[in-house]
Structure 1
Amino acid sequence: MSTLDWGVLIGTIAFIVLYGVWKTRKTQHMSGYLRADNTERWWMMGLSVMATQASAITFLSTPGQAFDDGMRFIQFYFGLPLAMVVLSVTAIPLYYRLKVYTAYEYLESRFDLKTRSLAAMLFLLQRGLSTGITIYAPAIILSAILGWNLTATILFIGVVVTFYTVVGGTKAVSQTQRLQMAVMLGGMLVAAIVVVRLLPNGIGFSEAMEVAGQAGKLNLVDLSFNPSDRYNLWSGLIGGFFLSLSYFGTDQSQVGRYLGGETIAQSRLGLLMNGLVKVPMQFLILLVGVLVFVFYQFYAPPLYFNQQQAANVLASDKAPEWQHLETENQRVFQQKKTASLALVQAHQAGDEEAEEEAAALMNQAEEKRKELRANAQKLVKNYNQGTDLKDTDYVFLTFVTQQLPNGLVGLLLAVVLCAAMGSTASAFNSLASTTVVDVYKRSLYPKASDDHYVQASRWFTVGWGAVSILFALFASQLENLIQAVNILGSLFYGTILGVFIAAFYFRRLTGSAVFWAAIITQFIIFLLYFTTQIAYLWYNLIGVALVVGIGFMLVPLLPKRG
């Protein structure tokens, strides 16, 4: 990177961290540390909620997802706006009336301590593991693309976030996330504009969309119903709705963001803002990935985007085979470029027949390119044992570092690090607050002073930061990172949401029945994941249905108390 890029990157990160620490340096009591003294305005909460969900994986992996699979991932978010409406009507008034610090406190008043503790422990397990991934994901990609030391990158992200979260708690998280979201959204908008400007002369946005559409990348809505298909209208509306209900209604990393609102109305507006803005934001990020795909129709892409892994193959006895694939990749690219240019010319001339012929040739070349990349992937796996990260996770940063001018590289890297810091800070804060409120204060030290619990929250933040950093240091990914995080969430969220649905809407269900139903459900979800091909979004609906259904079956079999 150039000196200018380093200046932009370091200056952006340093300003955000120091601003957050300075603004929250006087946070000394539990209400302020865990609920921001209920001073947050709706737009601050909306940005904080969005920043919590928008991890670095979103900005690294989502463009690669679109590059490889088109825009259909957007359907994952179709159920989110409806979920925001439901939570605004049901969960927010309840949490405010009870004056809770965490979502799980409500479960004890409705059921019993063991049900509250089980839900809290499931959250701690899921969020603790996924936070390690949110640190590991950007670190391994940044280290591979930029040559940074992986361990040092993981430690930098983890330690910096732990520092300002320990100092300021929820207030520090919210203050920094406002600036982080500004950098993230601004950076991706700049990236979209720059990609279009880098296209050959005579090819603008409309021509880029025509190429993308003919390549099948603008597949926004799939009406087919297929339980094994991860992304279609039905999995997004139904599975995505239940996933969003659970994530925003029962996950303390999100609940903690809007519990700090000035009023119920402010918190509702914050959630509704998230519902209105989140889908367009994801559309923009996916669109950047599609535009990068179009760019590489006219400029030669690497055979394999993770150059570090490719270098390991080139240093082996398979180097001649790899070089042959490189040569073939260049030959196929020339075919694809010729067909893409012909497609654009036919489109501009209004010659539909010629456009269809050119699109067919372009897509044939693209299929050949995919075959070459698949063969390259096999070689990479043989010479990169223990690392099976999907290559498309490296697409966006490869484009950024190789194609963007000085200054913008630093800005886009700041986008990635801001996203990593924002989501990780929320996770640390929520892990600490849940541990203190639902375990430490409730079951271990119920009569300590307010100052004692603030200090305990700080120490638990440090502890969870250390756990997440250690997990990140030893983590390895098996899938596209944006999917890996969502899969991990879906394995737990259905069960947790089922417990809350039972508490909210089914008065006949008892604590013991729901407790054992949740344990049985969690076992079944894991069994389904390892033995079936059901798409992970459906686990959210299945988990809810199983907890409620099994709970009703257990009610007559268990003692009525609890």
Structure 2
Amino acid sequence: MQTISFIDWIVLSITLLAIVAYGTWQTRGSKNVKDYLKGGSSSKWWTIGLSVMATQASAITFLSTPGQAFNDGMGFVQFYFGLPLAMVIICMVFIPLYYKLNVYTAYEFLENRFDLKTRTLTALLFLIQRGLAAGITIFAPAIILSVVLGWDLLTLNIIIGILVIIYTVSGGTRAVNVTQKHQMVVIFIGMLVAFFIIVNKLPQDITFTKALNIASTSGKMDILDFSFDLNNRYTFWSGIIGGTFLMLSYFGTDQSQVQRYLSGKSVKEMQLGLIFNGLLKVPMQFFILLVGVMVFVFYQFNKSPVNFNPTGTEFVLNSKYAEDYKTLESDHQKLFERKKVLISDYINSDDQETHEALIKAHAEQNNIRQEARLLINKSAENQETKIESNDKDYVFIYFILNNLPRGLIGLLLAVILSAAMSSTSSELNALGSTTTIDLYKRNVSEKSEDAMVKASKWFTFGWGIIAIGVACVANLAENLIQLVNIIGSIFYGNVLGVFLLAFFFKKVKGNAVFLSALITQALIIALYFMDLYHYINLPFLWLNFVGCILVIIISLLLEIKNILKRDKGILIILISILSYFSYLVLDI
């Protein structure tokens, strides 16, 4: 894998420093809490939409998603099908209430509806899960960039963290929104440039239509799956039902997202911003996946490694499995040459026999790559060094470093780091705001506006240091991307259930909700570990649904006396739901 040139370093450095400097300069002098935490409530809808999108689109999106399509095709886009529906619900239910109450955080609403302890509990749950996630969003791109830049992880963690802290602490919410708007511009330009270069690098006789046809032979263009198979994670139904549920949790109750649209100047601007995000997000994910599919087609005509992680390849070649790995590399090269002939014959003749032979060759290639991963894992056994054998995250970065012209490599690296910074800045901003408003201001004597702004800056700075610290020890985890989803799934469902109780169950009181939230959180953590040790089969993505249903049912059961006075029929409904839920947990 080639190293980046001096020109790329210049492009990378100027792009990132310009974004940081611009965000710091544009948002200097925030003197009151409204300016610092809500951006003066002056954001336009397009700024809100891009900021919301940038918060969700971390570096992992632009590293992992093309690799996901390279390996598994376009089906992952179904995961986002529920997002537009979730945006509509949030615009109709969440935003009007938040705006009417003039809240700084989502959790203020819960005190108005329930009590202080429920507000404090949900705020703490958010701080725990988002504080951990902030560190991982720094470390996830750092672990890959350390390979391509040749820097140690500690240095990259500190650089990314400090750059984010500078403008986030300096300008607060407005700084995050301003910088994210420009970061998304850089990201869109970078991905468009990458797409057109990939297509341009295909052989002259391979049109875009033919490229899609080649991808289709290996199932890469299978977008819609209408099956009801629970073992298949990405289907139309899991996207519409599970995706809606997950997006409601994330965009409706997570302060890192809520704070983005609370900065809007009016309800209309907030709603337009979220609708803009809902309409653009699915096409954006589709396009990023399509970039990955085009990378797959590119490597049907150009040599590729049997494993895209250079560290894993180097490690296994210095182990006792070196000869076995070299044999796989030789088989992989022979298969590559045979596939080129088959693809040429298929394009020219569209013969069914050739088509079947090409499908078989794709399967053989996948088997060789899987055997390579197993050898890398074996070579790392009984070693202190942990090697990532799953190379999905390295596919796109490998292509960038080895095939893009000088200057554009720096731009694409800037895209990855911009995504990391935009996501982390939103998280730090939300962590600082929640700590200031929900814990500090609410539980100490009244402070002046200036004191509140200073406190928020110090809390944001403190969370930034904590995030860097988490990033520096994150190498103790085995799978960082999955870890982010696990952390969110453990907490999101419970918090969403509390909000749904606040919105739709007007007779449920604060004591019941607080107690049920504590019970639910303990149960969800227990269920996760029961699944981890194979006592039950409950994939972590289901924890969002389970947590939400649990907190609602337990709250209703705790209020059963008051409820039965009004409607005894609800007892039958509760028993039915609880019975079905028990069956689901034990048999899913």
Report how far residue 354 of structure 1 moved.
4.6
Task: Give 1:355-394 correspondences, 5 Å limit.
Answer: 355-382=354-381, 385-388=385-388, 390-394=390-394
Aligned residue among 120, 126, 129 for 1:123:
126
Q: d(CA) in 1 for partners of 2:150 and 2:537? A: 37
Residue identity opposite 2:419 in structure 1? A
Moved over 6 A (4+): none
The aligned residue for residue 431 of structure 1 is: 431
> Does the CA-based 8 Å contact 2:67-2:396 persist in structure 1?
yes
* Superimposed CA distance per residue, residues 366-410 of structure 1 (whole angstroms, 9 cap, x where no aligned partner): 333334333334335435633446321111101100111111111
CA distance in 2, matches of 1:345, 1:487: 47
Partners of 2:420 and 2:370 lie apart in 1 by 33
Compute the displacement of 1:276 (Å). 0.3
C-alpha distance in 1 between matches for 2:39 and 2:547: 33
Q: Is the 8 A contact 2:376 2:389 kept in 1?
A: no
1:231 aligns with 2:234: yes
2:554 corresponds in structure 1 to 550
**Once the 2 structures are TM-superposed, how far is the Cα of residue 459 of structure 1 from its aligned partner?**
0.7
Map 1:61-460 onto structure 2 (within 5 A).
61-346=64-349, 351-382=350-381, 385-388=385-388, 390-443=390-443, 445-460=444-459
Gaps of 5+ in 2: 564-588
3-state SS of the aligned residue for 2:406? Answer: coil
| TM-score when normalising by structure 2 | 0.91
Q: 1:237 deviation in Å?
A: 1.1
Shift of 1:323: 2.1
Question: What's 2:567 paired with?
Answer: none
2:484 maps to 1:492: no
Residues 364, 251 of structure 1: CA spacing in aligned structure 2 closer, same or farther, 3 A cutoff?
closer
Q: What one-letter code is carried by the residue in structure 2 that aligns with 1:500?
A: F
Find the aligned partners of 2:150 and 2:282 in 1 and give their Cα distance: 34
Counterparts of 1:102 and 1:277, CA distance in 2: 26
Q: 1:342 to 1:364 in 2, by over 3 A?
A: farther
Residues 229 and 535 of structure 1 are in contact (CA less than 8 Å); yes or no, is this contact kept in structure 2? no
Q: Deviations over 1:153-182 (max 9, x none)?
A: 111000110011010000100110010000
Task: Indicate how the Cα distance of structure 1 residues 359 and 158 shifts in structure 2: closer, same or farther if over 3 A, else same.
Answer: same
Letter in 1 for 2:503: F
Deviation at 1:557, TM superposition (A): 7.1
Which secondary structure state, in structure 1, belongs to the residue aligned with residue 414 of structure 2? Answer: helix
Question: CA–CA distance in 2 between the matches of 1:447 and 1:213?
Answer: 64
Over the residues paired in the alignment, what is the CA RMSD in angstroms? 1.9
Map 1:508-519 → 2, pairs under 5 A: 508-519=507-518
Displacement of 1:539 in angstroms is 2.4
**Deviation at residue 185 of structure 1 after TM alignment:** 1.2
- Deviation, structure 1 residue 272: 0.4
Q: Provide the residue aligned with 2:472 in structure 1.
A: 473
CA contact (8 A) 2:104 2:262 kept: yes
Give SS of 1:298's match: coil
Q: In 1, are the aligned partners of 2:73 and 2:220 still within 8 Å (CA)?
A: yes
**In the alignment, which residue of structure 2 is the partner of 1:462?**
461
Q: What's the CA shift for 1:473?
A: 0.8
Question: What is the CA-CA distance between 1:355 and the residue it aligns to?
Answer: 4.7
Deviation at 1:358, TM superposition (A): 4.1
1:30 is matched with: 33
In 1, the alpha carbon distance for the partners of 2:522 and 2:343 equals 50
Match of 2:541 in 1: 537
Q: In the alignment, residue 236 of structure 1 is paired with which amino acid?
A: G
Q: 1:318 is aligned with what amino acid?
A: Y
Once the two structures are TM-superposed, the CA of residue 448 in structure 1 deviates from its matched residue by 1.2
CA distance in 2, matches of 1:354, 1:201: 25
Residues 389, 480 of structure 1: 8 Å contact kept: no
Structure 1 distance, partners of 2:146, 2:207, is 33
Contact conserved, 1:339 with 1:359, CA < 8 A, in 2?
A: yes
Larger mean CA deviation between 46-55 and 192-201 belongs to 192-201
Identify the range of structure 1 (295-304 vs 335-344) with the bigger mean alpha-carbon deviation.
Answer: 335-344
What is the aligned length? 554
% same residue? 51
Distance change in 2, residues 1:371/1:332 (3 Å): farther
Distance, in Å, in 1 between the alignment partners of 2:70 and 2:379 is: 20
Q: Tell whether the 8 Å contact from 2:321 to 2:375 is kept in structure 1 after alignment.
A: no
Q: Which runs of 5+ in 1 are unaligned?
A: none
After superposing the two structures, state which structure 1 stretch, 313-322 or 423-432, moved more: 313-322
Q: Deviations over 1:81-120 (max 9, x none)?
A: 0000000011111111111100000101111111111111
- Give the aligned residue type for 1:425: S
Secondary structure, aligned partner of 2:559: helix
Q: 1:550 to 1:289 in 2, by over 3 A?
A: same
Give the whole-Å Cα distance in 2 for the aligned partners of 1:203 and 1:362: 20
What residue is the counterpart of 2:580 in the other structure? none
Query: SS of the counterpart of 2:320?
Result: coil
Distance 1:227 1:61 in 2: 23
Residues in 2 aligned to 1:62 and 1:415: alpha-carbon distance in whole angstroms: 14
One-letter code of the match for 1:458? K
Aligned-pair CA distance for 1:61:
0.9
Q: Is the 8 A contact 1:45 1:270 kept in 2?
A: yes
Give, as a single letter, the amino acid of the residue that structure 2 aligns with 1:60: L
Task: For 2:391, give the aligned amino acid.
Answer: D
